[in-house]
Amino acid sequence: MTFRSSILTLYPEMFPGFLGESLSGKALERGDWSLDTIQIRDFATDRHRSVDDTPAGGGAGMVLRPDVLARAIDSVADDGRPRLLMSPRGRPLTQSRVRELAAADGAVIVCGRFEGVDQRVIDSRGLEEVSIGDYILSGGEPAAMILLDAIIRVLPGVMGNPESGTHESFENGLLEHPHFTRPQVFEDMQIPAVLTSGNHAKIEKWRLEEARKLTAERRPDLIQPVTK
Ligand code: SAH
């Protein structure tokens, strides 16, 4: 099955960008996912092909016009794929949402620019706003690529060893334990003895303890309060 992505953007030449390399690049060649970019400007109708206008009520910057963006969205067949809008106001992306999205047939992803997009098109086209974190990018394209990268790596058959996906940070609600590899001694520091003991039960226990410690220290927000 192919995860079909349709990207609405003013900068289609930014794609596939880094997604054309490495794991996601090979997956694209194999057809595990596909990419269709739609130039929003192609749906402008005025002489200047304008896609933005000044904010109603005044203020800085420009806003993506709803009529132009709606025509661009309507040019993509409504086949049940989720319609997402990259937006700092959206629900922050999580690994569990990534897994849900990866289980769908694909996604239609709108990349914002300027101050954002007219609220009416968000409402009328049922766009789900997705944020990749609490900071502001200059456009939705890098955010869309990050979202796609996270989705592609969990598609069936993309990752060489499916095991390596399930032990990752966030997959079990914890940050991952620290990693070590050869050489045995690096700048006078040894690999923790338990990891070279060959005792798999002990190794698993150590890793879980380390993961819990690290999560409590760095991301206490990830640890669910025990409900009585
Ligand atoms: N004025 C807006 C920010 C606009 S940034 C505000 O204060 O909320 C321009 C575009 O970049 C947005 O429309 C969105 O598509 C994208 N973008 C910026 N930051 C993002 C983030 N953290 N997550 C997802 N998309 C983001």
Residue 66 backbone dihedrals phi, psi, to 5 degrees: -70, -35
Is 31 labeled as ligand-binding? no
How far, in Å, from the CA of 140 to the mean position of ligand 1?
6
Average pLDDT, the chain: 96
- The answer to whether the CB of 139 falls within 8 A of the CB of 114 is no
Q: What predicted TM-score, i.e. pTM, was given to this entire model? A: 0.95
- Name the more confident of 164 and 69: 69
- The answer to whether the CB of 160 falls within 8 A of the CB of 32 is no
Is 11 labeled as ligand-binding? no
Out of 14-18, 75-79, 116-120, 170-174, least confident range: 170-174
Out of 34-48, 156-170, 179-193, least confident range: 156-170
Average pLDDT over residues 188-202: 98
- The answer to whether the CB of 130 falls within 8 A of the CB of 90 is yes
**Start-end of CATH 1.10.1270.20 domains in the chain:** 170-222
**Start-end of CATH 3.40.1280.10 domains in the chain:** 3-152
Q: What percent of the chain has pLDDT over 70?
A: 97
The ligand 1 atom nearest the CA atom of 117: 13
- Name the more confident of 227 and 115: 115
Which residues have C-beta atoms less than 6 Å from ligand 1?
Answer: 86-89, 111-113, 115-116, 131-133, 135-137, 139-140, 143
Domain topology for 170-222: Trp Operon Repressor; Chain A (1.10.1270)
Nearest CA to ligand 1 atom 20: 88
Burial of 215 (0-12, 13-18, 19+ CB in 10 A): buried
Is the pLDDT assigned to residue 40 strictly greater than 60? yes
pLDDT interval class at 228 (50, 70, 90): low
Ligand 1: which of 8, 62, 137 to mutate, most ligand atoms within 8 Å of CB?
A: 137
The ligand 1 atom nearest the CA atom of 115: 1
Domain topology for 3-152: Alpha/beta knot (3.40.1280)
